[in-house]
Homo-oligomer: A and B are copies of this chain.
């Protein structure tokens, strides 16, 4: 295994993938026993889960555990792999809600099943079938997440400590997604509301709660929980702001999505909110007119990029990312945190927020 990335420390990505593969291997015969017609369900989830995701949430949860003094074991790796199942649900359902065509360079789940329908001479509407199947497969992921966590082999008392954090995290991600969808339709432009979405949909869900989950499973002290919040929230916000920048300026080869796709989808990111706050009246009018136009061509994307850069929003966002990252790194200087874990969390903060455009 490569160990150049903090995500590969303790062979983590590889071991999480193995845990996911093991879960799928257990589910396949179980569903086969119900009906062989369920095979496309497991095939689709296998392709989705084993496509080489970064395993960022399991990494934060694992190092949250290690940071609290938890020892490395296959059980903790299995337990944190549950977060990839939660994330699979979130992504599959998000793609339906956003009408996204692709995910990590592959067709989105609803498109995959719509294509299956079109190639099969079936009855009814192919897109409706794709949507139905994506809803169901997301539900299955959410259910299997619990099963993976509960059957991970961790002691019952550890699981009982983790449960409230896990529950909190799942409600927060759905709340964040609700506010995000609502923001798209109300056309809410404020930086404050965009930051609320970032906090719940990304910062808490991607970083703070996984760390808390790992720490709770390990029985970490309250001061470590507090340190994880002080580290996790800014690094999670910075991570999402970096994602916003990549969604507009990023290289399709890296993002797995067409260039500027966030602009075509009309995502009300903090970057966009900052642009609208600072731009001239003419620039604002131009932005509002073209943002969310699915037909926006490369020239149109380039014009919006120019507005975002010229308004100063891009520079301000880069500055904010740097400040948040610094604040996160400072929070790791606490005695209750295991030193190796502090090192990895430092590397993760830098890797997840580094400038790549």
A interface residues, Cβ below 8 angstroms from B: 27, 30-31, 34-35, 37-38, 41, 89, 93, 96-97, 99, 117, 120, 122-124, 128-129, 131-133, 135-136, 138-140, 142-144, 146-147, 150, 156, 160, 163, 167, 170-172, 174-175, 177-179, 181-182, 184-187, 196, 200, 266, 292
Instruction: Among B35, B181, B186, point to the contact of A132 (Cβ < 8 A).
Output: B181
Assess whether A97 is in contact with B187, with CB atoms less than 8 Å apart: no
Assess whether B139 is in contact with A93, with CB atoms less than 8 Å apart: yes
On whether A186 and B122 interact (CB within 8 A), knowing A89-B139, A135-B93, the answer reads: yes
Copies in the complex: 2
Assess whether B136 is in contact with A139, with CB atoms less than 8 Å apart: no
Assess whether B160 is in contact with A156, with CB atoms less than 8 Å apart: yes
Cβ contacts under 8 Å, A146 to chain B: 146, 167
Cβ contacts under 8 Å, A123 to chain B: 184-187, 266, 292
Distance of A42 from chain B, by nearest CB (Å): 10
Cβ contacts under 8 Å, A122 to chain B: 185-187
8 A-B pairs closest in CB distance: A97-B132, A122-B185, A143-B170, A147-B167, A123-B187, A132-B181, A140-B174, A34-B175
Give complex CA distance A138, B172 in Å. 15
Assess whether B133 is in contact with A181, with CB atoms less than 8 Å apart: yes
Distance of A37 from chain B, by nearest CB (Å): 6
Assess whether A142 is in contact with B140, with CB atoms less than 8 Å apart: no
Q: Which has the most chain B C-beta neighbours within 10 Å: A37, A89, A135? A: A135
Cβ contacts under 8 Å, A177 to chain B: 136
> From A157, which residue of chain B is reached at the shortest CB distance?
B156
Cβ contacts under 8 Å, A175 to chain B: 31, 34-35, 38, 41
Assess whether B38 is in contact with A178, with CB atoms less than 8 Å apart: yes
Distance of A147 from chain B, by nearest CB (Å): 5
Assess whether B133 is in contact with A131, with CB atoms less than 8 Å apart: no
Give complex CA distance A147, B143 in Å. 13
Assess whether A37 is in contact with B139, with CB atoms less than 8 Å apart: no
Assess whether A184 is in contact with B124, with CB atoms less than 8 Å apart: yes
Give complex CA distance A142, B99 in Å. 23
Assess whether B30 is in contact with A136, with CB atoms less than 8 Å apart: no
Give complex CA distance A210, B147 in Å. 18
Distance of A164 from chain B, by nearest CB (Å): 8
Give complex CA distance A71, B304 in Å. 66
Assess whether B37 is in contact with A135, with CB atoms less than 8 Å apart: no
Assess whether A136 is in contact with B97, with CB atoms less than 8 Å apart: yes
Cβ contacts under 8 Å, A128 to chain B: 97, 99
Give complex CA distance A37, B175 in Å. 10
Assess whether B171 is in contact with A30, with CB atoms less than 8 Å apart: yes
On whether A97 and B131 interact (CB within 8 A), knowing A123-B186, A175-B35, A178-B38, the answer reads: yes
On whether A38 and B179 interact (CB within 8 A), knowing A167-B150, A186-B122, the answer reads: yes
Q: Which has the most chain B C-beta neighbours within 10 Å: A30, A171, A196? A: A171
Cβ contacts under 8 Å, A143 to chain B: 142, 167, 170-171, 174
Assess whether A34 is in contact with B172, with CB atoms less than 8 Å apart: yes
Give complex CA distance A34, B97 in Å. 21
> From A142, which residue of chain B is reached at the shortest CB distance?
B142
Give complex CA distance A93, B120 in Å. 24
> From A99, which residue of chain B is reached at the shortest CB distance?
B128
